[in-house]
Amino acid sequence: MNPVLMEALGLVGAALTTVSFLPQVVKVYRTRSTRDISLGMFSIAWVGMVLWLVYGLLLGSWALILCNGTTLVFAGYIIACKLRYG
Amino acid sequence: MNPVLMEALGLVGAALTTVSFLPQVVKVYRTRSTRDISLGMFSIAWVGMVLWLVYGLLLGSWALILCNGTTLVFAGYIIACKLRYG
């Protein structure tokens, strides 16, 4: 496969998994309801993203820094709402 | 930083973000309630994971294949429950 196309595949995949948090953030913001959301999921993911972010910083990979920096903020907001609204 | 330690950081980060889906799967399985879960989040993430999986297959990266294969199943279960229980 064309290497440029292949890298594009990886980048679009990373962009989608990053952006995917946004609809959940909007839903939580609108409804203020978090009962069905697992605190475990977002907490474990948050710690994983911190490690990925540090890894990206050490590698100097802007794709990793940007994606994980963004999802950290999104997941952090969902965790904060879960802790606040229960 | 020690390169082995650095790669371990990335791998533990990947393992945590992969495993993070499990508490949400268990919660949905137990409560059968998915009202607060965003279908948009898991659908967009699912498509992103498919692209990542294809990227991993093309690269021959077992870490990518294993992580994205696993999260695809977890996210797929959550999507199926969301569609079923509403």
pLDDT digits (tens, 9 = 90+) for B32-82: 999 999 999 999 999 999 999 999 999 999 999 999 999 999 999 999 999
**pLDDT > 90? residue B3:** no
pLDDT at B41: 98
Interface touch B55/A6, C-beta < 8 Å: yes
Predicted complex: ipTM over 0.85 = yes
* Best CA proximity match to B41, nearest among B61, B21, B11, B23: B21
Whether residue B42 lies within 8 A of chain A, CB to CB, comes out as yes
Interface touch B21/A41, C-beta < 8 Å: yes
How confident is the model over A7-53, as pLDDT tens digits? 999 999 999 999 999 999 999 999 999 999 999 999 999 999 999 99
CA-to-CA separations, B69 to A7, B36, B72, B79, in angstroms, rounded? 19, 25, 5, 15
